[in-house]
A and B are shown apart, each in its own frame.
Chain A
Amino acid sequence: MRSVVRLLAVAKKEMRELLRDPITLGIAIVLPLVMMFLFTYAITLDVREIRLAVLDEDGSPQSREYIDSVLRSGYFRLQAAVRNVRTIERLLDQGAVRVGLVIPAGFSRNLDRGRPADVQTLLDGSFSNTAIIASNYLDAITEAYIARLQERALAARVGGVPRLAPAVRVEPRVLYNPGLRSEHYVVPGLFAVILMAFPPLLTALAVVRERERGSILQIRISPIRAWEFLGGKLLPYCAVAFLEMVLLLAAGRVWFAAPVKGSVTLLLGLSVLYVLCTVGIGLVVSTVTRSQVVAILLSIVLTLMPAFLFSGFLFPIESMPAVVRGYTYVFPARYFMDIARGISLKGLGLERLWPQAAILLAYGATLLVVASVIFARKRD
Chain B
Amino acid sequence: MRRLGAATRKEFIQFFRHRPLIVLVIWTIAVEIAICAYSITYDVTHLRVAVQDLDGSEASRELISRFAHTESFDVRYRPQSARELEALLETGRATIGLVIPSDFSRRLGEGLPASAQLLVDGSSSNSALIALGHATRIVRGYAGEIDLDRLRVAVGDPGPIPTLRNHHRAWYNPTLRSVPFEVVAMLTLGVMMIAIILPAAGLAWEKEAGTIEQLLVMPFRPWELMAAKVLPTFGVSLASLALALWVPWWFEVPIRGSLPLFFALSAVFLFSGLGLGLLWGTVAENLQQALLLSFFTLLPVMVVSGVIVPVESMPRPIQLLSLLSPLTYYLEIGLGIFLKGVGLEVLWPRILAMGGLGVGIFALGIWRFGRTMG
Q: Which residues of B contact A83 (CB under 8 A)?
A: none
Q: Which residues of B contact A253 (CB under 8 A)?
A: none
Contact B24 A294 (CB under 8 A): yes
Name the residue on B nearest A313 (C-beta).
B125
**Is A362's CB within 8 Å of the partner chain B?**
no
Q: How many A-B residue pairs have CB under 8 A?
A: 387
Contact B312 A324 (CB under 8 A): no
Task: Digitize B113-144: 1 where CB-to-A-CB distance is under 8 Å, 0 elsewhere.
Answer: 11111111111111111101101110110111
Contact A128 B178 (CB under 8 A): yes
On chain A, the number of residues with a Cβ less than 8 Å from chain B's Cβ atoms is 126
Q: How far is the CA of A329 from the CA of B40 in the complex (A)?
A: 16
Contact B169 A338 (CB under 8 A): no
Contact B21 A297 (CB under 8 A): yes
Name the residue on B nearest A137 (C-beta).
B133
Q: Which residues of B contact A169 (CB under 8 A)?
A: 113-116
Q: Which residues of B contact A94 (CB under 8 A)?
A: 342, 346, 349
Q: Which residues of B contact A146 (CB under 8 A)?
A: 163-164
On chain B, the number of residues with a Cβ less than 8 Å from chain A's Cβ atoms is 122
Q: How far is the CA of A153 from the CA of B160 in the complex (A)?
A: 10
**Is A114's CB within 8 Å of the partner chain B?**
yes
**Is A43's CB within 8 Å of the partner chain B?**
yes
Name the residue on A nearest B131 (C-beta).
A316
Q: How far is the CA of A292 from the CA of B90 in the complex (A)?
A: 42
Contact A47 B310 (CB under 8 A): yes
Q: Which of A125, A289, A290 has the most CB of B within 10 A?
A: A125
Main secondary structure of the interface of A (DSSP, over half): helix
How many whole Å from A117's CB to the nearest CB in chain B? 5
Q: Which residues of B contact A315 (CB under 8 A)?
A: 39-42, 125
**Is A9's CB within 8 Å of the partner chain B?**
no
**Is A41's CB within 8 Å of the partner chain B?**
yes
Contact of B313 among A49, A320, A327 (CB under 8 A): A49
Q: Taking A43-B309, A178-B122 as contacts, is the C-beta distance between A316 and B340 under 8 angstroms?
A: no
**Is B150's CB within 8 Å of the partner chain A?**
yes
**Is A374's CB within 8 Å of the partner chain B?**
no
Q: Which residues of A contact B296 (CB under 8 A)?
A: 27, 31, 34
Q: Which residues of B contact A93 (CB under 8 A)?
A: 336, 340, 342, 346
**Is A84's CB within 8 Å of the partner chain B?**
no
Task: Digitize A241-278: 1 where CB-to-B-CB distance is under 8 Å, 0 elsewhere.
Answer: 00000000000000000000000000000000000000
How many whole Å from B287's CB to the nearest CB in chain A? 5
**Is B219's CB within 8 Å of the partner chain A?**
no
Q: How far is the CA of A103 from the CA of B304 in the complex (A)?
A: 34
**Is A336's CB within 8 Å of the partner chain B?**
no
**Is B352's CB within 8 Å of the partner chain A?**
no
